[in-house]
Amino acid sequence: MREIVLDTETTGFEPQEGHRIVEIGAVELWNHLATGKTYHQYINPERGMPSDAFAVHGLGDEFLKEKPIFSKIVDDFLEFIGDDTLVIHNAKFDVKFLNAELDWCRRPKIISERAIDTLQIARRKFPGSPASLDALCRRFTIDNASRTLHGALLDSEILAEVYLELIGGRQPDFGLLHEASLSQMPLIEKQFTTSGKRPRELASRLTPPELKAHRDFVKKMGEEAIWNRVGPNKLNSI
What amino acid positions are annotated as catalytic residues? 150
Q: Are 10 and 22 in contact (CB under 8 A)?
A: yes
**Secondary structure tally for the chain: helices H, strands E:** 12, 5
Q: Rounded to whole angstroms, how far apart are CA atoms 238 and 195?
A: 7
Task: Look at the alpha carbons of 160, 37, 102, 62 in this order and tell me if their dihedral is positive or negative.
Answer: positive
Contacts 24+ apart (CB under 8 A), 227-235: 229/185, 229/188, 229/189, 230/185, 230/188, 230/189, 230/192, 234/189, 234/192, 234/193, 235/192
In the beta sheet, which residues pair with residue 39? 26
Q: Rounded to whole angstroms, how far apart are CA atoms 30 and 224?
A: 12
